[in-house]
């Protein structure tokens, strides 16, 4: 999936500052929907927001910090996915449009050879996004079935425009638009792995949000369907099967969380002068630069961020309760460190009227009572044992 990030023209100075953070002559790593979905899932992490907004390659950064993560597809899985996608879109997307009609309706059954697949080629991501907007407008006005193969959509993220490329977008004869996500994991007996479907839904929600921004600029505004079409191999074959996935919840969460993100240039303005994330620089300076940006580590980061191992190590060193998960953090109220939690549980510190402190002390008393019972039972056994 190709995507790209283009500098905001209205703020060349801010973008120049972000380019300095990457290091001299280091190209920006483009944002993609997976990164935006992960960013939306943890909007309080200023470190990820800044690094992604500045186009820093977090995988290389983690390698230089000595805490590399394992992410990405194998070459075999990548090739298999491309081959399956090509099969789904063969013959002008006839099979894909048939599946879209069967699962979502939106007009009469498509006739092979009569649907439209416009050319979306243009220079640069901005040109391709403009060409996609024009194709969407023309297809909506013309009616009929239209397949946009790898369109380019623009989405503003914390003041930085991101250009995203879904697998496909279908325009139905009734003028509605549907995001299509093509995955290579199997759909067995009509259902697929729940965790993988959830990840695909979160990723598709980002595309749907970007598509809504395009629709909002049209008059009248077309309707972007809240059901995306997930296409996967049927059982263990290479034949396509499809399911309509409701992404309203994911779309609402993504919209709200992206709106909460601190603007990237505001985060950059708080950094010490000369801060850079150039992986070719001294290790000590690189570590200091990373640590100068606040992070919000949670265990879910391990499946979504290349810097998760580094951040987890630092979180454990600081004794932060967030390293135990959001649920634990939410139950502990104002207690933010493991040391503080243990101190409150043993009655050394803490407000005795605080519900979290009361629960901790009760849990500590129950634990001590259970341990005392185990010790007493062990002593009885020891007394009755033969010499």
The distance between the two most distant Cα atoms of the chain, rounded to a whole number of Å, is 96
* Residue-level pLDDT at 167: 95
* 387 has a pLDDT exceeding 60: no
DSSP labels for 230-244? EEEEBTTSS-EEEEE
Q: Which of 278-292, 326-340, 366-380 has the lowest mean pLDDT?
A: 366-380
- List, for residues 119-153, the tens digit of each pLDDT value: 999 999 999 999 999 999 999 999 899 999 999 99
Residue boundaries of the structural domains of the chain: 4-72+263-331, 75-258, 338-382
Spatial separation of the C-alpha atoms in residues 93 and 150, rounded to whole Å: 12
Q: Which residues of 282-303 are buried (b: 16+ CB within 10 A; e: fewer)?
A: eeeebeebbeebebbbbeebee
CATH number belonging to the domain at 75-258, selected among 3.30.420, 3.90.320, 3.40.50, 3.50.50: 3.90.320
Whole-model pTM: value is 0.76
Q: pLDDT above 90 covers what percent of the chain?
A: 45
Q: How far apart are the first and last CA of the chain?
A: 73
Alpha helices per DSSP H over 44-193: 46-53, 58-65, 75-88, 90-104, 124-142
- Do 54 and 21 touch, CB atoms closer than 8 A? yes
Residue 185 binned pLDDT confidence (cut-offs 50, 70, 90) = very high
| 3-class secondary structure, 60 | helix
- List, for residues 86-130, the tens digit of each pLDDT value: 999 999 999 999 999 999 999 999 998 889 999 999 999 999 999
Residue with tokens 């040391």: 339
- List, for residues 66-91, the tens digit of each pLDDT value: 888 666 566 777 888 889 999 999 99
- Do 116 and 146 touch, CB atoms closer than 8 A? yes
* 385 has a pLDDT exceeding 60: no
Q: Which of 148-157, 180-189, 255-264 has the lowest mean pLDDT?
A: 255-264
Q: Kindly state the tokens that stand for 159.
A: 């003041």
Q: How many CB atoms lie within 10 A of CB 16?
A: 10
Residue 3 binned pLDDT confidence (cut-offs 50, 70, 90) = very low
- By the 10 Å C-beta count (0-12 exposed, 13-18 middle, 19+ buried), 255 is classed as middle
- Of 232, 228, 223, give the one whose Cα is nearest residue 247: 228
- List, for residues 25-66, the tens digit of each pLDDT value: 788 888 788 888 888 888 889 999 899 888 899 989 999 998
Residue 9 binned pLDDT confidence (cut-offs 50, 70, 90) = very low
Contacts (Cβ under 8 Å, ≥6 apart) of 93? 115, 117, 147, 149, 168
What is the pLDDT averaged over residues 325-354? 87
* 11 has a pLDDT exceeding 90: no
- List, for residues 190-221, the tens digit of each pLDDT value: 889 998 999 899 999 999 999 999 999 999 99
* 375 has a pLDDT exceeding 70: no
| 3-class secondary structure, 168 | strand
* 376 has a pLDDT exceeding 70: no
């Amino acid at each position: 999936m190709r995507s790209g990030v283009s500098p905001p023209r209205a703020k060349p100075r801010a973008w120049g500052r972000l380019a300095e953070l990457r290091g001299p002559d280091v190209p920006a790593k483009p944002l993609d929907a997976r990164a935006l979905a992960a960013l939306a899932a943890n909007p309080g992490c200023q470190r990820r927001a800044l690094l992604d907004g500045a186009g820093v390659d977090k995988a290389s950064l983690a390698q230089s910090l000595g805490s590399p993560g394992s992410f990405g597809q194998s070459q075999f899985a990548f090739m298999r996915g491309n081959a399956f996608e090509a099969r789904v879109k063969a013959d002008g997307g006839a099979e894909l449009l048939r599946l879209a009609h069967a699962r979502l309706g939106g007009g009469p059954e498509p006739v092979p050879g009569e649907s439209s697949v416009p050319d979306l080629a243009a220079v640069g991501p901005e040109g391709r996004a403009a060409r996609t907007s024009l194709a969407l407008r023309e297809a909506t006005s013309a009616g009929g079935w239209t397949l946009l193969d790898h369109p380019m959509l623009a989405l503003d993220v914390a003041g930085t425009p991101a250009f995203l490329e879904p697998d496909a977008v279908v325009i139905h004869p009734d003028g509605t638009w549907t995001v299509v996500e093509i995955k290579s994991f199997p759909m067995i007996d009509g259902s697929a792995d729940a965790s993988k479907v959830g990840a695909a839904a979160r990723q598709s929600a980002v595309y749907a949000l970007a598509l809504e921004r395009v629709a909002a600029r049209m008059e009248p505004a077309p309707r972007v369907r809240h059901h995306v079409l997930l296409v996967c191999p049927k059982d263990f074959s290479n034949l396509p099967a499809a399911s309509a996935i409701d992404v309203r919840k994911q779309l609402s969460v993504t919209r709200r969380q992206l709106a909460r993100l601190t603007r990237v240039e505001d985060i950059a303005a708080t950094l010490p002068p000369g801060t850079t994330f150039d992986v070719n620089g001294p290790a000590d300076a690189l570590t200091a630069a990373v640590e100068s940006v606040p992070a919000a580590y949670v265990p879910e980061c391990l499946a979504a961020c290349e810097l998760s191992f580094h951040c987890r190590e630092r979180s454990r060193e600081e004794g932060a309760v967030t390293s135990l998960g959001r649920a634990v953090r939410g139950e502990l109220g104002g207690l933010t460190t493991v040391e503080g939690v243990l101190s409150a549980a043993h009655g050394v510190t803490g407000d005795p009227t605080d519900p979290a402190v009361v629960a901790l002390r009760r849990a500590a008393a129950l634990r001590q009572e259970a341990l005392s019972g185990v010790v007493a039972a062990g002593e009885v056994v020891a007394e009755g044992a033969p010499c």
